[in-house]
Chains A and B, each alone.
Chain A
């Protein structure tokens, strides 16, 4: 059993507080990803769980034990570092065996475990090499293998893929997900890459400035961001934002965007909207809310038209990212690659307002999330 609880966990360096009293419950065998921009406290949190940083205040509980004062080596964890941290003067075999040997495991058991892990990671042929003679991807596998042989309850991974090239990263993502399934352990993974977070996690923890912004399953996080930060951090290209005013019309609530009235989806209830009537709020639209034309599948009541001046288009292969200005607000739309537009053209796009998000510009919280707790 290795459920992990962070209770009011805080880390300060002198005057500076980098992790502010965070609470988080991580279930046994869960794959949880801490994501956020650099300096958001995600690595520090991971290092506190690892026992590499002292906990300034609060409790860190692994299983049923408060481990604040337990040394890293006695926490039954293994860690994979961003720069691999392989011992340069030892062979791959020795690197993987080292932790077990220090724990005085019998020689044949060490050998069996190292070979097993090497087999799974497909690095048996590298066992006699030194780290210097390995490529980045191979080093990463060895680092994973070193963590695996100890069969710990908890795996901590600190940006393990950020030194790999894009293609290898995609392969390793899939492998780590598989590894998590087969190892039956709790994984805590830190990254600044939201694609890694979305693709691998059971649940994602979004952090900013030492605070947890939102904890949710990947799709929930994408569909229902609780605030402007999460909305803009998750999703690439990022969500487009516009200042709009809430108006009550005969047909219910709508938003006024520079004179154009846009409908609002039913999930934004009158209770959500009434307090903001006549006030300015922030409208958020993801790039995929824009269409060249409406089809029969679309609900015409939820659609509106917006005109814009094309700035530039980025062909991505299966789609293009069209950058244009709507009433002076820079916007990115995800369109079919056959959409032809040149810089300076005026285009009219259809917007699916059922995908709209509204945020309070002051508290930055989603109107659906209700007032801040």
Chain B
């Protein structure tokens, strides 16, 4: 018997795939639209901002907005305040999270898992629930209207510990054991073995913390009322006065506020994507 060999047919025009692409493109456009609108509004006069139909590319771009924002309010100081808070909080969070995570992932002590569960359970509690009592407490400590208040509150996060711990779990215990036999202390293992190996997780946490702290509105709004302490996110509100709002300037300042976040994200996104993909997955 002879066998005729046929070629399996090529995949035909795939309508399902096209539909998927169309949907994905539409969703992306919806996501991008407000951002593009902000860019365009930042180059307009206040009265043109809400003109309808939307003029996406202003016929006379008003670049002056980007000059005026620095003189009308102390934007430079706000940027400095925000940068200071963000850098300090991010560094502290990386330190405290990875340190606690090492203990939760690699050390054996009584009630370790119960403690860990209790700690990450606090993630489920929305901040809005306890921010008022927390504020009263901080005021008792005399920390109202200080940057220290925000630094103290944000230097520790259950989320960071969770993220780092999941990553450390994927690093084999034998590495720690080999290091112990080699003669290293637990602090040494954390610093010389775990930290260098957890760059993806540290990058992920850096992005999360940096973006969150930089963009934080509610925290500074509650704790910082003096102008010279304000961060950029609440500083921008100074463009809103009792009877009017300078929308063009607000948008220009918002664009400026966005730049550092973009830089950090782009610099670390390679690790970030890796980190998200590998968190808790590598067995």
CB neighbours (8 Å) of A73 from chain B are 180-184
Closest chain-A Cβ to B34's Cβ sits at a distance in Å of 42
Counting chain B CB atoms within 10 Å of each CB, which of A71, A81, A86 scores highest? A81
CA distance A361 to B158 in the complex (A): 59
Closest chain-A Cβ to B142's Cβ sits at a distance in Å of 45
In contact, A81 and B184 (Cβ under 8 angstroms):
no
CB-defined interface of A275-298 with B at 8 Å, one 1/0 digit per residue? Answer: 000000000000000000000000
In contact, A81 and B174 (Cβ under 8 angstroms):
yes
**Given A77-B181, A79-B181, A85-B174 contact (CB < 8 Å):** yes
In contact, A78 and B181 (Cβ under 8 angstroms):
yes
Query: In which size bucket is the chain A interface?
Result: 20 to 34
CB-defined interface of B182-214 with A at 8 Å, one 1/0 digit per residue? Answer: 111000100001001100000000000000000
CB-defined interface of A66-77 with B at 8 Å, one 1/0 digit per residue? Answer: 000001110001
Counting chain A CB atoms within 10 Å of each CB, which of B174, B177, B182, B184 scores highest? B182
CB neighbours (8 Å) of B188 from chain A are 102
CB-defined interface of A81-109 with B at 8 Å, one 1/0 digit per residue? Answer: 11101111100000000110011000000
CA distance A346 to B240 in the complex (A): 102
Does A50 have its Cβ within 8 Å of any Cβ on chain B?
yes
Does A52 have its Cβ within 8 Å of any Cβ on chain B?
yes
CB neighbours (8 Å) of A82 from chain B are 174
Does B178 have its Cβ within 8 Å of any Cβ on chain A?
yes
Does B117 have its Cβ within 8 Å of any Cβ on chain A?
no
In contact, B193 and A79 (Cβ under 8 angstroms):
no
CB neighbours (8 Å) of B175 from chain A are 85, 87
Checking B172, B181, B196 against A50 with a beta-carbon cut-off of 8 angstroms, the contacting residue is B181
Closest chain-A Cβ to B181's Cβ sits at a distance in Å of 5
CB neighbours (8 Å) of B193 from chain A are 87
CB neighbours (8 Å) of B184 from chain A are 73, 102
CB neighbours (8 Å) of A89 from chain B are 196-197
CA distance A88 to B179 in the complex (A): 12
CA distance A88 to B180 in the complex (A): 16
Query: In which size bucket is the chain B interface?
Result: 10 to 19
Closest chain-B Cβ to A76's Cβ sits at a distance in Å of 10
CB neighbours (8 Å) of B179 from chain A are 87
CB neighbours (8 Å) of A88 from chain B are 197
Which residues in window 147-177 of B have CB below 8 A to A? 172, 174-175, 177
CB neighbours (8 Å) of A72 from chain B are 177, 180-181
Which residues in window 323-363 of A have CB below 8 A to B? none
Checking B178, B183, B196 against A81 with a beta-carbon cut-off of 8 angstroms, the contacting residue is B178
**Given A102-B183, A102-B184, A79-B178 contact (CB < 8 Å):** yes
In contact, A52 and B177 (Cβ under 8 angstroms):
yes
CB neighbours (8 Å) of A78 from chain B are 181
CB-defined interface of A131-150 with B at 8 Å, one 1/0 digit per residue? Answer: 00000000000000010000
In contact, A85 and B182 (Cβ under 8 angstroms):
no
In contact, A81 and B177 (Cβ under 8 angstroms):
yes
Checking A52, A86, A103, A146 against B183 with a beta-carbon cut-off of 8 angstroms, the contacting residue is A103
CB neighbours (8 Å) of B180 from chain A are 51-52, 71-73
CB neighbours (8 Å) of A85 from chain B are 172, 174-175, 177-178
CA distance A252 to B197 in the complex (A): 72
Closest chain-A Cβ to B178's Cβ sits at a distance in Å of 4
Closest residue of chain B to A82, judged by CB? Answer: B174
Closest chain-A Cβ to B190's Cβ sits at a distance in Å of 14
In contact, B182 and A83 (Cβ under 8 angstroms):
no
**Given A52-B177, A89-B196, A89-B197, A83-B183 contact (CB < 8 Å):** no
CB neighbours (8 Å) of A83 from chain B are 172, 174
Closest chain-A Cβ to B236's Cβ sits at a distance in Å of 43
**Given A83-B172, A88-B197, A89-B197, A98-B182 contact (CB < 8 Å):** yes
CA distance A81 to B182 in the complex (A): 13
Closest residue of chain A to B188, judged by CB? Answer: A102
Closest chain-A Cβ to B199's Cβ sits at a distance in Å of 9
CB neighbours (8 Å) of A86 from chain B are 178
Closest residue of chain A to B175, judged by CB? Answer: A85
CA distance A99 to B188 in the complex (A): 12
Closest chain-A Cβ to B90's Cβ sits at a distance in Å of 23
Closest residue of chain A to B196, judged by CB? Answer: A89
CA distance A251 to B157 in the complex (A): 85
CB neighbours (8 Å) of B196 from chain A are 89
**Given A81-B174, A87-B175, A102-B182 contact (CB < 8 Å):** yes
Closest chain-B Cβ to A234's Cβ sits at a distance in Å of 29
In contact, A79 and B172 (Cβ under 8 angstroms):
no
Closest chain-A Cβ to B202's Cβ sits at a distance in Å of 13
CB-defined interface of B18-43 with A at 8 Å, one 1/0 digit per residue? Answer: 00000000000000000000000000
Counting from the closest, the 8 A-B pairs by CB-CB distance are A85-B174, A99-B182, A73-B183, A85-B178, A102-B183, A81-B174, A89-B196, A72-B181
Q: A73-B181, A87-B178 are in contact. List 16 more A-B contacts (CB 8 A).
A: A50-B177, A51-B180, A51-B181, A52-B181, A73-B180, A77-B181, A79-B178, A81-B177, A83-B174, A85-B172, A85-B178, A87-B193, A98-B182, A99-B181, A99-B182, A102-B183
Binding site for B on A (CB under 8 A): 50-52, 71-73, 77-79, 81-83, 85-89, 98-99, 102-103, 146
Sample 30 A-B pairs with CB under 8 A, ordered by A number.
Answer: A51-B181, A71-B180, A72-B180, A72-B181, A73-B180, A73-B182, A73-B184, A79-B177, A79-B181, A81-B174, A81-B177, A81-B178, A82-B174, A83-B172, A83-B174, A85-B174, A85-B175, A85-B178, A87-B179, A87-B193, A88-B197, A89-B196, A98-B182, A99-B181, A99-B183, A102-B182, A102-B183, A102-B184, A146-B178, A146-B182
